Structure 1
Amino acid sequence: MASPTPTTPISNMAHHALGWSVIVKQMLVGGMAYFLLAKFGMALFSLQPSNITLLWLPSGIGLLMCLAGRNRALPFIFLASFAANFHGMALPSLGLQILHTMIAAFADSFAAWFAAFMLRRHLPFGLSRPFDLIPFTVFVCVIPTLVSASFLAGNLALGGYIAWTQTVNFILMLLVADSLGILLCYPMLEAWKKQHRITSAEILPWLLLTVGILTIVHLAFAWMHAMIFLLIPAFLYMVFRKGHVGEHLTLTMAACLIVAEASHNLGPFQIANAELGRQMLVFFLFSTAMTVTGMWLQQQQLLAKQALIEDQNVQLSQAKEAAEAANIAKSNFLANLSHEMRTPLHQIHGMAQLVGREPLSQKQMDRLHKLEVSCVRMTDLVDAILEFTRIDSGMTAAQEAPFALEDLLSGVASMVEEQAASKQLRLMVESTDFPSRMIGDVRLIRMALFNYANNAVRFTEHGSVILRAQLIEENALLGVVRFEVEDTGIGISPENVTRLFSVFEQVDNSPTRKFGGLGVGLAMTRKIAVVMSGDAGCESIPGKGSIFWFTVRLRRE
């Protein structure tokens, strides 16, 4: 029998290359189990003088047979029911006994087929969630058995074998017996098909728990009736302890023992009002079966989620390792590429300088100047890539040394001063009172601040660029410095700010963009800030300008 999963509904359970011979073998085994359980129930669970049982396990077996064999199961169910019920009906003549036994067998077969139909229609994936228990009880347990019990009771009443006033009670008794049989048997199939089976290591603990539960049942009926309330916590302990098919087998055995004891006028349900006692017994069995099954479903859902989370964690760990390996490979490739490109670029630049020392025409001088500018620009780009790969791969560690913050700010300003002057931009430096000297990696800080300043000048057509430093936290040993570069440039929209600090990202990534660059400067600045126990960010208003900032932790000298 195929195991139904979210991609294998119950409707396909009997159609996964199962041949006719396999189906026949399954139906023969099912029919034999149906017959034996029916005789077992009649012998132990019959209520006298009506000869009706409070627990009819064959109804659950019939449902399983119809799920496995579909319509091919019906003849086997009919024959098993006929054989089991034939001697259970004490009718005046053999002909009437055969007729009404056939009617009972037809009702049992129809109930099994209808229950399987309702299960496929309303719960195509079976019992998988605690919320499935209510529709399962209504559509699979109650409605099919109610229809078949009404049909059987009507025929017996028409034949005069039961009074019409007894039909309602007769129907309710059959409804309870069949519904309990389905409610006890079907969850065992669910546990079995989901591979929740008893392993060799679990057999002994399960047997001990089962013996304990059956002992509680017997003592509750034979000695101390109040012990019946210990069954619920005992079952819940078993459910939460492991969660396998053995729980439902234990529940079924306990239910059989309860009904058998009650049928022999023993136990807490034998009170002065026999009908009330029978109702109490029925509701106790129903509530116990539904509670245990519901908690089992909840436990299985929890275990499935835990397994899914563990599987996803493994996949995430593998993906993380693969991404880290790919990142290292990328960094190594870019570093090697940058090294290989720097040598010919330096040679081209050197040869251009040598040519510049010779007598040249003005046109040749202009062309040579463009060549030198392009070489410098290309060298800067290669150096930026090389430096970024070093920082990104963790090859660059902070090298601390004493330095003056004012000298750092003025030095970076001088690096972009000529470019700012060519665009007639006001270049200003602002700083609060700092200790005369602080200790940190001035090379990395200068690189990060230059990336901001260079971008500010490049993206600002008029107005000003301000380099600023503020001491935002300090104590006797440490200080956190916030560096800012404020411009009056084009500004950046909020949706673009979030991706600016990703490597190779720019506001305009199109090949025809107005402003050049590789998109590594801001990513490099954030990496530098993180290396120095800080962070980086941006505050911008489109059309008005931006403030790019980063923080670093420095020591006092």
Structure 2
Amino acid sequence: MTQDFYNNKKSSKSILSIIVLSILYIIIAKVGMTLFSLKPTNITLFWLPAGLALIMYIKYKQVALPFIIVASFVANYSGMQLDNTASSIIHTTVASIIDGFAPYLGYVFMRFFKIDELDDYKSLSLFLCFVCILPSLVAGLLLTQNMVWGGYITSGEMFNMMINISFSDTVGMLLVYGIYSEMLSADQATNRSISENFNALIATSLLSLLLVWVAYEIFSLAILLIPVLLSVLAFKRLYVDLPLAQLAVICFILIMSILHMGPFESDNYYDSILLMMLFIFACNVCTNYMVIYCKVSDKKNNDKGNSIDIP
């Protein structure tokens, strides 16, 4: 009787947590659609809800699926409204199912490859290819086909939109899971105080934002220094702070791009968007591999320090 009560209480708490995360999903999605959207208005340049959905699957498995689909429907419906209400509901439902399916596919690959922490080159490479890129490409293909079917975009715009969605979902998963993984990692303990970590995060973020402004307004090649500057956080072993700084930089790049495309300027608007997304993706991947380099180096040094030479 006591065990049943405990299980019911635990189950109720889990459902409540899923509902809270679903509401957070809607809020994050709406903010992204408002600030960083492409045509149609619900397509954002980086999709943090994809990463949040992956975390929900990791914590609650298949139970999270219907909640994610409903949250996606609520978030997407206003941006996918057509003259025909029935068509709007159908296409939004299809998009919501795809939004729920893609992170679940990534979760299945995580379990298949036994990826728990991004602490070596193999785990990060598998996570990048099979958890982020492959599900995002599948989602991008299905979502753009749904948009063409509904008349939101033309068939000529399908390829560019598919690539943008794929990059958007991939970056969202990398950022959100990076924060989640490092917060749970036992390797996160350092001798620095919270204030020192915060100061390093603020200083690096502000310098990165300054470089973005310089790249957009004065000297476009300054944008190439951003990955180098962000790598400072990796070398200082501030692994949780790094994705937060990356998020700040990405947001500022997207805000600046509302005014003009700066270093990503091209004759074709979609080419400019693609260049920007490629840079954001490459910057994110490079700094993540820099984190792995630091972790592997620390592990080797610890192994050497703990080894005992036997004469």
Question: TM-score, structure 2 length as denominator?
Answer: 0.86
Q: Which amino acid aligns with 1:69?
A: Y
Following superposition of structure 1 onto structure 2, how do residues 62-101 of structure 1 map, counting pairs within 5 Å? 62-101=53-92
- The AA in structure 1 aligned to 2:123 is D
Work out the CA distance in 1 between the residues paired with 2:114 and 2:254. Answer: 29
Whose helix proportion is higher, 1 or 2?
2
Q: 1:263 to 1:178 in 2, by over 3 A?
A: farther
Matched, 1:59 2:53: no
Alignment equivalent of 2:242, drawn from 232, 242, 247: 247
Q: 1:184 to 1:31 in 2, by over 3 A?
A: same
1:250: Cα distance to partner? 0.7
Confirm or deny that 1:164 pairs with 2:155. Answer: yes
Q: Give the CA deviation at 1:73.
A: 1.1
Shift of the alpha carbon at 1:308? Answer: 4.1
Equivalence map 1:149-548=2 (5 Å): 149-195=140-186, 196=188, 199-201=193-195, 202-310=197-305, 312=306
Query: How many positions carry a matched residue from both structures?
Result: 299
Q: CA deviation at 1:144?
A: 1.3
Q: Return closer, same or farther for 1:309/1:25 CA change in 2, 3 Å cut-off.
A: farther
Shift of 1:33: 2.4
Equivalent-residue separation in structure 1 for 2:183 and 2:21 (angstroms): 16
1:75 to partner: Cα distance: 2.0
Deviation at 1:268, TM superposition (A): 1.1
1:115 Cα deviation after fit: 1.0
**Distance verdict in 2 for CA 1:42–1:159, change over 3 Å:** closer
Structure 2: which 5+ residue stretches go unaligned?
A: 1-8
The answer to whether the 8 Å contact 2:266/2:272 transfers is yes
**Match for residue 34 of structure 1 among 25, 32, 36:** 25
* Greater RCO structure (CA 8 Å; 6+ sep): 2
Preserved contact between residue 243 and residue 300 of structure 1 (Cα < 8 Å): no
CA distance in 2, matches of 1:167, 1:23: 39
Amino acid at match of 1:285: I
Aligned with 2:262: secondary structure? Answer: coil
Matched residue SS, 2:263? coil
Which TM-score applies when normalising by structure 1? 0.50
More deviation in 143-152 or 46-55? 46-55
Equivalent residue of 2:161, what SS? helix
* Cα deviation code 1:398-444 (max 9, x no counterpart): xxxxxxxxxxxxxxxxxxxxxxxxxxxxxxxxxxxxxxxxxxxxxxx
Q: Distance in 2 between matches of 1:110 and 1:260?
A: 30
1:105 to 96, 100, 110: 96
Distance 2:170 2:144 in 1: 16
Select between 296-305 and 155-164 the one with higher mean Cα deviation.
155-164
Q: Which amino acid aligns with 1:58?
A: P
* Counterpart secondary structure, 1:268: helix
Unaligned 5+ runs, structure 1? 1-17, 321-557
| 111-120 or 162-171, larger mean C-alpha shift | 162-171
Q: Which moved more, 1:55-64 or 1:159-168?
A: 159-168
> Using the alignment, how far apart are the partners of 1:287 and 1:204 within structure 2?
26
Counterpart Cα distance in 1 of 2:40 and 2:66? 31
